[in-house]
A and B are shown apart, each in its own frame.
Chain A
């Protein structure tokens, strides 16, 4: 079966750095997406990785290792507004998007 694992919940302090991990086992791989979803709102696109390595976008970075079936989303200089759920999703060999259950990130002052 296809499976995406990410922690259910994480807590971090304002101004700090947090890393949200995602591991996947899918039938094929055509890229991995990270989305942010605030409570009661629709997801917004953060990043897309299809090759190994680190992609940096401002305070957010996303890393991929295809051989390990592993990705992480790194958030720096955390702000209160970063409190949200972060969804990892993988495009499988049929270009179907397989969604993780999301990681709820709680930022404390």
Chain B
């Protein structure tokens, strides 16, 4: 149980392109999903917390207009990197927490490796 699907796994695109990443909880409902970014050999960095039916909460230093988050249902959250540039190249990982509450573990998707040329 507790499977989170993230798509796509790999994206390579030109600078200026917008990229959409989907995160789905397959066998449970998630009021809260999280978006992380991880650069090589560095720890996870929380970008934003996505709450179903309301606006996402962004961490300090993360541009809301650049990283658009939509959490329209209890099983789907999307992250759109708008007008991506080479410095946005990173490993983006989503996670979802079961409806059971804040004490539930976060279950991670497989991540999306984004490369901007």
Contact = CB atoms under 8 A, between A and B. Distances in A.
Contact of B111 (A31, A41, A99): A41
Interface in A25-73: 30-31, 33, 35, 40-45, 48, 50
Interface in B53-111: 91, 93, 102-103, 105-111
Contacts of A101: 42-43
Contacts of B108: 35, 42-45
Main secondary structure on chain A at its contact with chain B? loop
B43 A100 contact: yes
A107 B113 CA distance: 26
A97 B34 CA distance: 10
Sorting the interface of chain B by its residue count into under 10, 10 to 19, 20 to 34 or 35 or more gives: 10 to 19
Contacts of B103: 30-31, 48, 50, 91, 95
B43 A33 contact: no
A87 B44 contact: yes
Given A30-B102, A42-B93, A91-B102, A102 B43 contact: yes
B109 A42 contact: yes
A91 B6 CA distance: 24
Nearest to B32: A95
Interface of B: 2, 6, 34, 42-44, 46, 91, 93, 102-103, 105-111, 113
The 9 closest A-B pairs by CB, nearest first: A95-B102, A42-B108, A101-B43, A42-B111, A45-B105, A42-B93, A43-B108, A99-B44, A42-B110
10 contacts: A31-B103, A42-B108, A42-B111, A45-B107, A45-B108, A48-B105, A87-B44, A99-B43, A99-B44, A102-B43
